[in-house]
Amino acid sequence: MNTPIVKYRDLGPLDYKACWDYQEEIFKSIVDQKIFNRNHPEEARITENHLLFVEHPPVFTLGKSGVEENLLADKGTLKQRNATYYKINRGGDITYHGPGQIVGYPIFDLDHFFTDIHKYLRYLEEAIILTIADYGIVGERVEGLTGVWVDGQDPEKARKIAALGVKCSRWVTMHGFALNVNTDLSYFDLIVPCGIDDKAVTSVEKELGKKVDEEEVKTKLLLNLQNVFDFELS
């Protein structure tokens, strides 16, 4: 199997809905190409893979399996905190995105990698675990839960540093992960994060007691994703 090529773009600060629409556009083009390839093998073209990094203004998103009651804020509070709210088509419950957080959206055709969604999620977690290890933070998985945790094996101390939520159709992925770097964690007080009410959230900044260079974290994360998934950037 050839090494997959991934088109990378850092979109910078971007409204959640605008970014979601952009993801949907790319996702649809890949799925449409796969359907065309299947029906017209003699004219088949290789499907693309994309990786988007983005930083959203404050926004809460509720996944398909989510419970609306896990949003604890009313419309007035959301307005006061300049936050928006969307019900979306990824898996998982409610989460928060905002400044100081690196959000990654891999729109991959897993036929170029491996057709195993659980393996895909574990690989995303692995890239994040390797990235925060560079800052002396030990990231862990918690059995039965997605995402990356600090002190994950201690129910009293476990706190989430990165959340995952994906959609996959015809082995094409969208949505992805959010790593808290210099995030204002007070926004998480307005939700039951990921529907889990007995565990805290944290950030690289909170763990280290100081802000870190987000561009540096992005560079490390991009390299780790490249190494874990074994792709080349275009």
Q: What is the DSSP letter of 31?
A: H
**d(C-alpha 21, C-alpha 40), whole Å:** 28
Helix (H), strand (E) at residue 217: helix 214-229
Query: What pLDDT was estimated at residue 122?
Result: 97
Q: Domains, the chain, ranges and CATH?
A: 5-233 (3.30.930.10)
> What is the reported pLDDT for 68?
86
Look at residue 67 and give its three-state secondary structure.
coil
Query: What does the alpha-carbon distance between residue 159 and residue 67 come to, in Å, rounded to a whole number?
Result: 21
What integer pLDDT is reported at residue 93 of this predicted model? 82
193/204 Cα distance (integer angstroms): 17
**Pairing status of strand 172-180 against strand 159-169:** antiparallel
- Give the pLDDT score at 215: 98
* pLDDT tens, N- to C-terminus, the chain (234 residues): 789 999 999 999 999 999 999 999 999 999 999 999 999 999 999 999 999 999 999 999 988 878 888 899 888 999 999 999 999 888 778 889 999 999 999 999 999 999 999 999 999 999 999 999 999 999 999 988 889 999 999 988 999 999 999 999 999 999 999 999 999 999 999 988 665 665 789 999 999 999 999 999 999 999 999 999 999 999
Q: Supply φ then ψ for residue 96, to 5 degrees.
A: -120, 140
pLDDT at 91: 78
- The residues carrying an active-site annotation are 194
Cα 9 to its chain centre, rounded Å, is: 15
Point out which residues pair with 180 in neighbouring strands. 101
Burial per residue of 114-127, b for 16 or more beta-carbon CB atoms within 10 angstroms, e otherwise: eeeeeebbebbbbb
The confidence score (pLDDT) of residue 94 equals 87
pLDDT at 196: 60
Per-residue model confidence (pLDDT) at position 88: 87
**What is the pLDDT at residue 193?**
64
* HSE, side-chain direction, 13 A CA sphere, residue 34: 17
